[in-house]
Amino acid sequence: MESPSSLKVGDKVTGRVDWERRHTLMKMHTAGHLLSSLFYSRANCRITGNQIDVDRSRMDFNLESFDRTQIEGYVTEANELITKDAPVKTYFLERGEALKLPDMVKLAEAAPPAEAQLRIVEIEGIDRQADGGLHVSHLKEIGQIQLLKLENKGKTNRRLYYDTQNPVK
């Protein structure tokens, strides 16, 4: 058997998606959009950092005061929206048209790429963002969001760790 380093440009390869891992990351990612939309719409927060991972994900945001009850309330609200369910759609918009929408960019320090068209991920009736990532097709797929831990890393970095799980059957 040849070693992988013998691969050359133009070689045929076969790839296989690790679906369990992929699906977990999709749920974590959509959950992050849902949470960020609540932080944004309820408290005018921008997202200052995030990391999507399989075991737990984290999100940093610039909430004015570090108020655990307030943050827990947004997670509860997110879970209520998941229970109600909503479709998650992706589509393309002309860049100029997309950037006219006030809620399009929720990352504090990230501008959308300089493309003529931007890919939009919309949680119908709840959130839309310019985004290139993979998402579940319905909120219900997330299961529920579990708040694992809150940390106060300073005014621009209130940090929330979360996980997703399927509802208990």
Binding site residues, Zn ion, CB under 5 A: 131, 133
Name the residue number minimizing CB distance to Zn ion. Answer: 131
Q: Which residues have a Cβ under 8 Å from the Cβ of 40 and sit 6 or more positions away? A: 46, 103, 106
- Rounded-to-integer distance, Cα 115 and Cα 53, Å: 27
CB of 129 to Zn ion, least distance (A): 6
Residue 164 half-sphere exposure toward CB, CA atoms < 13 A: 27
Choose between 49 and 133: whose C-beta lies nearer to Zn ion.
133
Report d(CA 32, CA 157) in Å as an integer: 16
* Residue placing its CB nearer to Zn ion in the complex, 63 or 123: 123
Q: Smaller CB distance to Zn ion: residue 51 or 152?
A: 51
Least distance CB 13 / Zn ion (angstroms): 28
Q: Least separation, in Å, of the C-beta of 25 and Zn ion? A: 11
Please name the amino acid found at residue 159.
Answer: R
Closer by beta carbon to Zn ion, 35 or else 71:
35
For the bound state, the minimum distance from the C-beta of residue 52 to Zn ion, rounded and expressed in Å, comes to 8
Tokens of 23: 């699906």
